Amino acid sequence: MYQIDFKKPIHVHFIGIGGISMSGLAEILLTENFKISGSDTKGSDIIDNLIALGAIINIGQCAGNITDDIDLVVYTAAIHKDNEEFAACIEKNIPMITRAQLLGQIMNNYKYSVAVSGTHGKTTTTSMLSQIFMEADTDPTISVGGILDSIGGNIRVGRSDYFVTEACEYTNSFHAFYPYISIILNVDADHLDFFSGIDEIIDSFHTFATNLPENGTLVVNGDMDCLPRITKDLQTNILTFGMKASNKYCAADINSDEQGHMNYTLIVDGIPQEQIHLNIGGTHNIMNSLSAIAVADLLGIERTCTLAGLACFGGAHRRFERKGTLGNVTVIDDYAHHPTEIKASLTTALHTPHNELWVVFQPHTYTRTHALFEEFADALKGFDHVILVDIYAAREKDNGMVHAKDLAARIKELGTDAKYFSSFDAVENYLLLNCKKNDLLITMGAGDVYLIGEDLLGK
């Protein structure tokens, strides 16, 4: 694999530079005086920002974008061999590495690198840690998979030894990471277009954990049944968090305020500590915060900074994000696209003042929808009203295995009001006619379903 010498900047080209993670890595290299070029299928604010920083970006991907002065090409798992630029790189014999491999190489430049993994909660936990690091004036470098208001985007380039990033299991990409501290928030069945099942996913997380150095630490959810398989034969420090009292870090006296924000007593080694006040809802976010507190303690960050960071963190964009009100209807947007995440968002919604709960759900990928069909139906039936829109294909093609209207029909069989609409306009018209005073409306999914809420709010 090509190894970058960060003391000798080169010309790096990104295929798919507009992605939330790819753009962040490009920005890091720009600050290190690398020449950056790239391409994407459409423009965006992210691309405009990179151009303003000095990147050369083409809209549209073609072989002509691969010029002879390019030293290295970075691509994502979404780029296939039939991509014109990918093929041109092969023909010109230009070195190529994946997005994850680049991130791993960047990570190696930092003494205190933290990789946040897990099937759910990576963006929120990375954002929590980012807030804590900044409260502690550590001047961290941050790469987060969402937009965080406190850093004005998805990337922050610092000048210290602190680095925090998400670590995604899809295509085993996090196997390219060798951090000082790793977090494993949870392990669930997902990305079944790549993994054969939960056993292979558990093995993948175990491999990720083995990348830690002997003086490093694995901060891991101690409530998981698969914990022994994850930690088997590890030659590193292991620290657990969770709801069970047997964990080093756990929570007691859990309650929520009138806005649904969570409060609890921190317990460390069985001893009550400070009161923790979160500015977000959901018991899953208590788990996320416990892991963040554990990492902050490991790095010697004053607990007062940790408490302040958690208290002022109001959530990343698209994570139960309050978008506004339409009349007397509150509009929320949430990135949940897995049954476990849907249930977590439902729990948060139930603790938020409301009359009836509406969700507009956009399934993400045909493979996931088909593999977890019954789980999706079970999770969504807890809402008062469910509206399904077409499956967001993402990296896949429709092979007819499942349709969103099938999921709507199944939820209706389970006794919940559920409907399918083939267009966003039809959904918006229906909502305008049927949502009532003090209802809570959530647009949910990892695709572009958020546009429905924004259209309704006139954004």
Closest CA to 107 of 236, 219, 6, 234: 6
- The answer to whether residues 258 and 353 touch, using CB atoms and an 8 Å cutoff, is yes
Please give the full DSSP string across 265-294, using - where no structure is assigned: EEEETTEEEEEEEEEEE-HHHHHHHHHHHH
Tell me which residues are annotated as active site.
122-123, 166
Rounded Cα distance between 57 and 376, Å, is 39
Closest CA to 55 of 42, 68, 40, 37: 37
3-state secondary structure (DSSP) of residue 239: strand
- Measured between alpha carbons, how far is residue 321 from residues 116, 146, 431, 454 in Å? 21, 12, 19, 12
Kindly give, in sequence order, each residue whose CB lies less than 8 Å from that of residue 348, ignoring residues fewer than 6 positions away.
260, 281, 282, 285, 320
3-state secondary structure (DSSP) of residue 385: strand
**Token pair belonging to 177:** 């990471």
For 334, other C-beta atoms within 10 Å of its C-beta total 26
Vertex 338 angle, CA 337 and 339, to 5°: 125
Please give the full DSSP string across 7-66, using - where no structure is assigned: TS--EEEEETTTSHHHHHHHHHHHHTT-EEEEEESS--HHHHHHHHHT-EEEES--GGG-
**Token pair belonging to 422:** 């083939």
